[in-house]
Homo-oligomer: A and B are copies of this chain.
Amino acid sequence: MAKREEFVRRRLELNEKVLRRATLGIKRFWNLDEQSYHAGALDAKTKELLGLASSLVLRCDDCITYHLVQACEKGASGAEIMETLQVGLVVGGSIVIPHMRRAVELLEQLEEQADQEKS
């Protein structure tokens, strides 16, 4: 799945650029961000779905891509993703639809990839 791999590669490349120049405060934010999705009272899958819904209503494609991939890796089913997107759509309105379209396209790619890996 070229598109997703390109996203991951580019994200890592830019993260390195940021962290090379980052203030101590920026580094602390990076750690805090990463730690916020670790399992605790809520499991990791649920936290990624929270991140996904929040990213959809705030309309950030990169953030949606990231949390959608993470949620699937943490075991979210296609139906769980679609219900999460519905909550985001109803809360955020039709203005989120362009982002939701791209999210569903990515979900389809992730499922095709998962099917290929199984077979």
Contact = CB atoms under 8 A, between A and B. Distances in A.
Please tell me how many copies of the chain the complex holds: 6
* Interface size class of chain A, counting residues whose CB lies under 8 Å from the partner chain: 35 or more
Interface string A21-47: 111011011001101110011100011
B78 A36 contact: no
Q: Is the interface of A mostly helix, strand, loop or mixed?
A: helix
Contacts of A96: 93
Contact of A87 (B50, B57, B77): B50
Nearest to A11: B101
A97 B53 CA distance: 17
Closest 7 CB pairs of A and B: A93-B93, A41-B79, A14-B101, A62-B98, A50-B53, A92-B93, A54-B91
